[in-house]
Structure 1
Amino acid sequence: MRYDTASFTRELTPTQLIGLDALLAVVLMASNVLWWTLGTHRTGWPAWQTVLTCSLGVAVAVRRLLPLPALAVASVVMATDGGLSLTGVLATALLVYGVAVARPVHVAACAGVVAGAVQLALVIPMQGITGHDYWGWPGVSQSFIVEAAAWAIGWSTRRGRAYTRGLVEQAEERAHLLLVEERMRIARELHDVVAHSLSIVAVQAGVGHHVIGSRPDEAAKSLSAIETTSRAALGELRSLLGVLREDDGAEWLPGGLDDLNTLLEQTRRAGVDVELTISGHPQTLPPGMDRAAYRIVQEALTNVVKHARTSHARATVTYAPGEVALTVVDAGVGRTTTPITEGHGLTGMKERAALYGGEVHAGPLSPHGFRVTARLPYVTGERTAQFPVGANVEGA
């Protein structure tokens, strides 16, 4: 694995970064001492030179904590002592870079202009006071060019970090949305599997308990239906848990409009005779949409078994150009006086339809009965491209 300077510094704590700055300050101070004693051919070490060198070192050491004051001190030192030469140029450029990285662009720009103005205003008078003529106008111009380049690099670094943070935030938000969608998908699948199967088991258990004394043969049929339904439910739950455990792109639970006959047979065993009508020209739907259509019909029939108190229902699948329509109607008690409360089942049906730009409507009929209608649109020949979200959520 490759490590660069930026990745290395990102792994350090704030205390460690300040420690590195303090070490850098010591190196710069030592280089200034060497420059004074070896590069300028001067003898002795005046006290004011100690003050200036230490001031520059402190400014570098605290540049992360106090970037603006540190830049101000370095600018004054730069203009005061031309003997700092390359050491001062590098230190001031580092501080300009730090301000451009740590502060908003307008603040960093103002700080850079003020620092340059301070250096320009002090450098000529200080040359007369100290007797150092190292800088001159060419030297001042070169130092300004270096500081401007440092500011530009700092500004670019700040923008790059902001862009990276934005990408990270978007990735985290997308991961959160995917997690929510995944939880909703699991909840829908569990509800569809458990609710439908347990509804049939409950009805058959009630029938068996009621007739076990007078009609043992009917009770035996009920027990057989309970066994068959519970085994099927266990198989679906095992399939669901297997997909959750294995991250190998396995398909979700089986189920599609081609499996409606099996679903209707299970519903008939629960005591509700369902008449199925298919009209239009059957189309091959995207896998996710096909499964969603199946689950909508399954949930609607589950509600008939649980709430309608009827022995008859009618299911219709209508294929039309660009859409498939589903209708489940029962002749049960309906709801003519009490408001409809959307539970997990109706909410799940609407969520499944919404994934594909469809809609679900449910309501009572007069004088009795209940109807659920769903519409799922698709584009012929472009179904896969038209439903990237639904395909990921329902058919991954």
Structure 2
Amino acid sequence: MTMFNLRVLSKNFSKITVNKNIRLYSAYEKFNAYFGHKSFQKNPVKLLVAAVPVTALGAGYYFYGTKKENDELLNEYDIRNVEYQLLESKPNVPIARTVNKSKDDLNLNLTLFQYPTCPFCCKVRAFLDYYGIPYEVVEVNPVFRQQTSWTTYKKVPILLAKVKDGYQQLNDSSMIVSALKTYLFNQNISLEEIVNYYPMIEFKEKEGKVKSDVLNKYFLMFQDNVPKDKTTEVVKEEKKWREWADNELVHTLSPNVYRTTEEALQAFKWFSEVGEWDKLFSAWERFVIVYVGAFAMWLISKNLKKRHNLKDDVRESLYDSCKKWMKILSMKNTQFLGGSTPNLGDLAVYGVLSSIEGCIAFNDLINNTNIGKWYYPVKEAVNNHKDVNKTKQTFSRSNFCYGQDFKKKTIA
């Protein structure tokens, strides 16, 4: 793919309100590190994900292409922008519980649609709980999914937030975390505007299957204010391990949790207990979810093992991933990736792993690795809302963008 096509892609799909004062961490580094990699020639969407953040730099670097060329590229890759839904009113669905029942200083009136042990839902809950942000929970029936019949987006988590003109829908766990963290940094920018920084797209794979993704989802957006405690390496490291949690660690879970039919059934019975399905679903719905779901996931886990190249003994792949994480903390000589307190990288890894706590695979993980000495302190910090008072940050004015000086560097 040529540099010119990269420019065309960037222009078409960012749909970001570019302002010369907007600063996006790591955009240049991401562009510089990944552009031209041979994998992009095979995967135009991966190239798009790498390229679009560059349009948000705000230093006047715009990418242009003619309408004819743009249309040709759109047709070639069959990629389209998808708008986030803005609802006039909240859907009439049962609320399972309200979490963090304190004053909602953010005035967002959040509602989380989730499966209780979905790793991506757990990741969002870990973030909300750590910052002590109040939210309501809607438990979605994983088989019939009638609780999300109001939206065309069929994955979880989904987060609804009260905004000026109704209820703003946020999709994708990493996008939700990044958007809310951005909002915590600067509440002078509306959540509706922040959502526009994270364009959602749909595209067709070679097999014809339609998939969706969110651009910029690991990036935090700032005005010309940068937190004083952030350095180039800190921001890069945090983003790296957030991606690792989604792209590597999470793929070791299902093949381990559903390794055998016995483990799969134990897991689903545990999910039913922790999710209080007896209070939310009828007896026959629970039976279908638990027994049909367990058997289905046992079968699916075999394909996932092969797809993600896990070892014959899938436990070893799970252990290896967690040992890799602990090795990084050991090299840093800190309790958390964030130092003395968890950062978004810690919360992402913790959230993913917390989804299997209570399963046989989790007990084996604790007994065969030293992950517990990190996991349980993070759990304590999350449960105690360790950062409940840090919704207002201290900033320093800077042209900082992952350590790159845009007055000296240009993008040809």
Fold shared per TM-score above 0.5 = no
Q: Which structure: larger Rg?
A: 1
Higher RCO (C-alpha under 8 Å, 6+ residues apart): 2
| TM tier relative to shorter chain | under 0.3
Relative to its length, the structure with more helix (as a share) is 1
